[in-house]
Amino acid sequence: MKGKLYVVATPIGNLDDITLRAINVLKNVDIIIAEDTRHSLKLLNHLEISKPLISYHRHNEEEKSDSILEKIENGKNIALISDAGTPVISDPGEIIVKKALERNIEVIPIPGACAIITALMGAGVKTKKFSFYGFLSINKKIRNKELEEIQKNNNTIILYEAPHKILNTLKDLGKYVGERNIVLARELTKLHEEFIRGNIKEIQEKVNNPKGEYVIIIDGTEEKIEEENDLNNLSLEEHYEYYEKQGLEKKEIIKKIAKDRGVSKNEIYQKFI
């Protein structure tokens, strides 16, 4: 009988942040595949789990996937873990999961710590819609394209960044994020966990000697737009007052109300006679 591929989230700092289900899966699989086997051994020793380990990282993902999947087809249950957090998210796993599904191998996600979600939980930003960009590209052309896309994106934006590159990334973001509220979530779940808040300039002043791991969050601007869409829930008089307070002329106000409500200017005009 075929085995299964378990994709198991492990802690992002605090070793207690692992689920009972994840521990049970790691105890019961035949093999664990891990990015840096020496690094993962520390966690496995802490959990008193001893299993054969296979190294699986971004440079050998393509080449190792097939031989690992063959072992699953021959009946082995295998768990994929990364150095920290949720595999597949800015970590190896995308290729093996896709190939497993192509071979009709069952893939079972075992959820747990993930830096994106942990950062959002404590950031105090808009969470209705968010976009994750992972690490910005180091290729200048692609990076500029990503930054331009971020500038136009009203959602809350989440980025990962390495400590030695964070100052440079903040500098680049400075040209694109205007006055948007930024939160740096640093060393999540660890002793020196910290949330640094402010606009990009304030953040740059606060971070001069970056140490540890960082998630960058750029707060969304979407609610403002939604608020404006909500104008249609106002009475016509209230809708009129909203634009009047902005100092607009009657003609301009009628034009705007008609546009908001998707009706003709004449229809609105008649109501105000």
State the residues that interact with ligand SAM by CB under 6 A.
12-13, 82, 84-86, 89-91, 114-116, 160-162, 185, 187-190, 213-215
Q: Side chain identity at 71, as an amino acid letter?
A: K
Q: How far is the CB of 112 from ligand SAM (least distance, A)?
A: 9
Q: Please answer whether residues 56 and 64 qualify as being in contact, where contact means their C-beta atoms are separated by less than 8 angstroms.
A: yes
Residue nearest ligand SAM, Cβ-based:
85
- Provide, rounded to whole angstroms, the least separation between the CB of residue 116 and ligand SAM: 6
State in angstroms the smallest separation of the CB of 261 from ligand SAM: 43
d(CA 30, CA 158): 36
Taking a C-beta distance cutoff of 8 angstroms, is the pair 166, 214 a contact?
Answer: yes
Q: Which is nearer to ligand SAM, 198 or 212 (CB)?
A: 212
Nearest to 109 by CA among 2, 1, 9: 9
Alpha carbon of residue 102 to chain centroid? 26
- Residue 94 corresponds to which tokens in the numbers above? 């995308």
- Residue with token string 């400590």: 163
Query: Nearest approach, Cβ of 161 to ligand SAM (angstroms)?
Result: 5
Q: Could you tell me whether strands 182-186 and 194-198 are parallel, antiparallel, or unpaired per DSSP bridges? A: antiparallel
Q: Between 116 and 253, whose beta carbon lies closer to ligand SAM? A: 116
Q: Considering the complex, what minimum distance in angstroms separates the CB of residue 162 from ligand SAM?
A: 5
Q: Which is nearer to ligand SAM, 83 or 222 (CB)?
A: 83
The CB-of-132 to ligand SAM minimum distance in angstroms stands at: 9
Contact 156, 220 (CB under 8 A): yes
Torsion-angle region of 93 (φ positive above 0: left; ψ -120 to 50: alpha; else: beta): left
Nearer to ligand SAM, 160 or 240 (CB): 160
* Identity of the residue, 71 or 163, whose beta carbon is nearer to ligand SAM in the bound complex: 163
Q: Which of residues 161 and 253 has its CB atom nearest to ligand SAM in the complex?
A: 161
